[in-house]
Amino acid sequence: MKRLPYFFMAVCVSSALMSGCGASKDDDIRQWMVDERNKTRPKVDPIPAPKQFKPESYTNAATTEPFSKEKLTQALKRDSAQVVANGALVAPELARRKEPLEAFPVDSMSLVGSIVKEGQPVALVKVDNLLYQVKQGNYLGQNFGKVVKINETEVTLREIVQDAVGEWIERVATLQLQERSK
């Protein structure tokens, strides 16, 4: 029990000594920081002078000018020929009568099997819990998809869709045989 008063007394004396020295160290540090800040100057590199612009003369005077009427006429003829070619893809598709499976997207269809009927392969396609027989030449899906090939594991379609520019292009789509899940 005699140790406790000595310990308490030592703590009090040390805290009194530390509180007396604290203010002078703080002032010294603050003054040192101000001095260092005043000594330090940022180094900024000067901006280089701008380069002199030298215009170049047009040296292809013998060729067709890029803004001439001839060049514009050629471009318009080329674009109109392409529109006619793209229109030829869609025109026959719009004139024919729609088949029942064209009301559904190809993503909602599943190939569940295939059979041979009268020597021709026939795909068995399931849509909305109904089974349809599809032959080569039939149409599927909402993108003018025409069946071009049927084999045991897949049906291949030729679809006509618009690309990002709005032009009609052909693409190939397939309908894969779906394994039955238990």
Number of Cβ within 10 Å of residue 110's Cβ equals: 13
Tell me the CA end-to-end span of the chain in Å, nearest whole number.
82
The pLDDT value recorded for residue 148 is 94
pLDDT mean over 94-120: 90
Q: In what order do the strands lie in the sheet with 120-127?
A: 110-117, 120-127, 130-134
The pLDDT value recorded for residue 44 is 84
How many Cα atoms sit within 13 Å of 119 on the Cβ side?
A: 0
The token pair at 65 is: 């000018």
More confident residue, 21 or 142: 142
The one-letter amino acid at 65: E
What percent of the chain is modeled with pLDDT above 90?
A: 34
The pLDDT value recorded for residue 25 is 66
The pLDDT value recorded for residue 161 is 84
pLDDT mean over 64-78: 74
Which helix (H) or strand (E) segment holds residue 110: the answer is strand 110-117
Mean predicted lDDT score pLDDT of the chain:
80
More confident residue, 59 or 90: 59
pLDDT mean over 152-168: 85
Residues 123 and 145: their CA atoms lie apart, in Å, by 15
22 has pLDDT over 60 = no
More confident residue, 146 or 57: 146
Smallest Cα–Cα separation from 145: which of 103, 95, 86, 87? 103
Residues 155 and 175: their CA atoms lie apart, in Å, by 5
Smallest Cα–Cα separation from 136: which of 124, 125, 146? 146
The one-letter amino acid at 121: P
Q: What is the pTM of this model?
A: 0.51
More confident residue, 164 or 147: 147
pLDDT mean over 149-172: 86
All domains of the chain in start order, with CATH: 95-176 (2.30.30.830)
The pLDDT value recorded for residue 85 is 59
